[in-house]
Structure 1
């Protein structure tokens, strides 16, 4: 393994050194320990998800990194760096999916670069220097530099959460499944409760052979029974008055539980009493995370009762209240909207300001502003919201118009939306051709509105994702520094058996698994991290990011 030492400008300051893997692990451990209470080295490598688990398995944590692949994607597409050589280059290695056996690098106070032999070997130094040059020449270096740091910190968090795992009580989960579905059955066999409901559905529809799992057959059976349905979607079925609807919806709910978190899921995803979810930072174009299998971002309330802290430990569960509307207020510098949410529920503050009559009205109107709903209750209330908060609504409208033109929008820190696909552009061009029909024009307008709704929300959702990354990065850093003088022995792997650590993240919600003795300190630092994230993104603009925080031994008790 080759390690190069460079400064913040990427200039080599020491000769390269070559390490065996064992010596390298010892080197990283020593460097991190020596700099625990000061500015840590930044390790620059190809792909955090591929490399960092090797260090974690050796009980080595790093404080900072620069993930070349994640950062390349941001710099490649950001409007702030479009004049760079990196953005202008033809697609290549760094635009492809990561290799199974990656190349690596590292960076520090004297930044370190490190390189692990891959097959074929990849020289990461040129890419690192291209990225440094793109940032230096960008329209706003501070913004994009903060985004790259936050994205890379998020990659460390994701790897650590996967390695540590979310505590999971298998016996409790099996008990929940038995209570809801009946005794365990072989894969492919319908459990007792589902079979009972299936029989009820068949009897009520007069179809003894109906398979309620077949949407095509179900729709046909509903129509044959005289029900005015054109879809089997839940929202549509709820509008129908017939005795079959209640057992059918209950069947759907239990079927989702069996498919998403049933016995097969339990066997596949729970290892040593932990759910080791594989998070994908930046997996969504807005910067939100995705997950590869396991449904980490969709844990239903039915199974949260199985998420139980280790003996002597507890969970600190925190979520940001009305995060996206508050982000919108700060992005647009709308003081009136920021004041509405000061020290209170934002929707309640909108009601108190006399804009709408109820909290439900405020929520519907705000969602309409951020997602482009123009009909129904949202459409009726939007004009009131626009009069009360003109800057906020002007920002979302401008983002929508930008998308409708086929242009891109950019988040607070510099992540830009993708351009519309070629088919979209062709459809818009066809609408202006001399041969265009009325249908062509209507189709083009509809497609333009759809893309405008995407860009309308992109700038808000993407900026909210950046806030969440900064929030988690600060939590992680402060947990690292927390003085744990009386460690409680937990059941987690390696270094996560004694120190508080993040174990779950969902857009605007986090869970920290902590010794009970440190729960109060963790709660305080989680709140301070939210304030810090707001200041990083929006400076002194007076917007609050309040949290709902609960200290619980069982995740089901958090809400």
Structure 2
């Protein structure tokens, strides 16, 4: 496959290097060149998909595959099976400091920043050399391809947007909060709740949004509360509990998905969030804006398909436990995963008495709950599923020793005391604090190996699905065909013409099977999907729990 490397040059020029040599074109002519060369199925190599792809999409040009140098460098830098020295060079500091851009404007290049003129061909050569020298090259190659495909999908989802009915959203806000207030003022019903809280706590100057003020007011009223979480407030034996809980619910809606949110993120009948692929240490996505990964049920009725179109929503049941079975090679747990409910499969196999026992034990093992009822279930299930439970236990012990652990495809965990962006935590204050931090990092690495591998499965799923959707009947740009509009961890939403809904659902299932075979070749695993075909996202079925 031909690799076509794109580098931005000063003066709105683009340097193109491939096996045929070097070519220079004007930036304004790039879309036409990419459209023409896509017919040969190249792999486009560039510094950051979020810089290059949005202008192409705006010109109606779709890219099938790419290599995102920024994302892939971050993977290779931390991969235990890669020599980090192979990535060193004169411009290494600039590459290491490269951060994702927010794709809100088709013009995503600065005029004088050196980071805007990095040579893609030089960095690509380094990455290919580092990869070829790695003993885990086949797995890492799959990870880099999936990571880059995810970046393409993210740009396409931002470009197409989630179909959004602003009138429905306005009606939801009016029903729950009252009429739209003047800028800077709280809505009527939120203000009324605040007044009730102040009256019942005899605190006329209270700001209910201030946790210190609220805790002090509760204590003055004789109520012992250590925090203001909903679960804590529900236990309060006082008339203030109900209006306070209602206030927090309404305030969250107002501040996160109220009128200001709609003004900023909804335009032309679309909600366009800004995704950040691999925004977390495990490879899971995050959001640069719009709150795409915390889509509350309160506003989902506003996500409505266009006339003649539908939303096809698919989520995979119990993804991470299934991934644990596959990556550990635990055939007993894989057998329990046959069908739609892994936890019930464990109970039916006689591993535990009830489905709830299975869920407590398996989640406890993955998240480090070693005490109480969950801890007892972990001990019992370890004897039944030694490979699966042994894998997460070994990852925890490695994390406590300060060692790096890795996902199935080779993504490495960040070191203890550092986050994904290398920002160090405050140093420990004493030996006890040091011990707590070691145990906390052990809990992180315990889950990292499973959550990170789950993110890899999901990336392979959407990478295959976006290409399958493109091959369905249709013509025109991405947004005129069945296309991905939303993705969060283990759920995808496709906007599609109604007559293609069945075909889309079939491709979702086929892509899930393909992702399973790519990652777990030696073991047959079920990844059952719950698929809903709906007009409104609010009507989609919920995932298995």
Give your verdict on TM over 0.5: yes
User: Which of these residues, 454, 463, 468, is aligned with residue 473 of structure 1?
Assistant: 463
Give the distance between the partners of 2:308 and 2:21, measured in 1 at CA: 48
Helix, strand or coil: the match of 1:92? helix
In the alignment, is residue 262 of structure 1 matched against residue 258 of structure 2? yes
Compared CA separation, residues 406 and 425, structure 1 to 2 (3 A): farther
Compared CA separation, residues 99 and 182, structure 1 to 2 (3 A): closer
Deviation string 1:161-185 (CA, Å, 9 cap, x unpaired) is 0011111100000000111111110
In the alignment, is residue 28 of structure 1 matched against residue 34 of structure 2? yes
> How far has the Cα of 1:538 moved from its partner?
0.7
> How far has the Cα of 1:189 moved from its partner?
1.6
Give the distance between the partners of 1:460 and 1:482, measured in 2 at CA: 33
User: Which of these residues, 431, 434, 445, is aligned with residue 441 of structure 1?
Assistant: 431
> How far has the Cα of 1:211 moved from its partner?
2.2
Aligned twin of 2:540: 558
In the alignment, is residue 462 of structure 1 matched against residue 452 of structure 2? yes
**Do 2:62 and 2:478's aligned partners in 1 also have CA atoms closer than 8 Å?**
no
Helix, strand or coil: the match of 1:155? helix
Deviation string 1:261-293 (CA, Å, 9 cap, x unpaired) is 000000011010111111001110110111112
Unmatched 5+ residue regions in structure 2?
1-12, 104-108, 419-423
Aligned twin of 2:61: 60
**Do 1:320 and 1:548's aligned partners in 2 also have CA atoms closer than 8 Å?**
yes
Give the distance between the partners of 1:68 and 1:333, measured in 2 at CA: 32
- Please identify, of 417-426 and 218-227, the stretch whose mean Cα deviation from structure 2 is larger: 417-426
Compared CA separation, residues 23 and 187, structure 1 to 2 (3 A): closer
Give the distance between the partners of 2:293 and 2:102, measured in 1 at CA: 27
Give the distance between the partners of 1:256 and 1:229, measured in 2 at CA: 21
Unmatched 5+ residue regions in structure 1?
7-12, 103-114, 431-439, 488-493
In the alignment, is residue 548 of structure 1 matched against residue 530 of structure 2? yes
Give the distance between the partners of 1:116 and 1:133, measured in 2 at CA: 30
Q: What TM-score results when the alignment is normalised by the length of structure 1?
A: 0.88
**Do 1:44 and 1:66's aligned partners in 2 also have CA atoms closer than 8 Å?**
yes
Deviation string 1:76-119 (CA, Å, 9 cap, x unpaired) is 110010365117999511111348799xxxxxxxxxxxx99975
Aligned twin of 2:154: 158
Give the distance between the partners of 1:5 and 1:293, measured in 2 at CA: 34
Aligned twin of 2:285: 289
Give the distance between the partners of 1:331 and 1:518, measured in 2 at CA: 35
Give the distance between the partners of 1:444 and 1:341, measured in 2 at CA: 39
Compared CA separation, residues 477 and 463, structure 1 to 2 (3 A): same
Aligned twin of 2:329: 333
In the alignment, is residue 133 of structure 1 matched against residue 129 of structure 2? yes
Structural mapping, 1:305-454, within 5 Å: 305-421=301-417, 427=428, 440-454=430-444
Compared CA separation, residues 194 and 450, structure 1 to 2 (3 A): same
Aligned twin of 1:248: 244
Helix, strand or coil: the match of 1:400? helix
> How far has the Cα of 1:425 moved from its partner?
11
- Please identify, of 344-353 and 310-319, the stretch whose mean Cα deviation from structure 2 is larger: 344-353
Aligned twin of 1:518: 500
**Do 1:101 and 1:118's aligned partners in 2 also have CA atoms closer than 8 Å?**
no
Helix, strand or coil: the match of 2:310? strand
Compared CA separation, residues 100 and 515, structure 1 to 2 (3 A): closer
Compared CA separation, residues 497 and 463, structure 1 to 2 (3 A): closer
Give the distance between the partners of 2:367 and 2:453, measured in 1 at CA: 15
Helix, strand or coil: the match of 1:80? coil
Compared CA separation, residues 538 and 496, structure 1 to 2 (3 A): same
Compared CA separation, residues 269 and 192, structure 1 to 2 (3 A): same
**Do 1:82 and 1:88's aligned partners in 2 also have CA atoms closer than 8 Å?**
no
Helix, strand or coil: the match of 1:393? helix
Aligned twin of 1:490: none
Give the distance between the partners of 1:83 and 1:292, measured in 2 at CA: 28
Give the distance between the partners of 1:51 and 1:159, measured in 2 at CA: 10
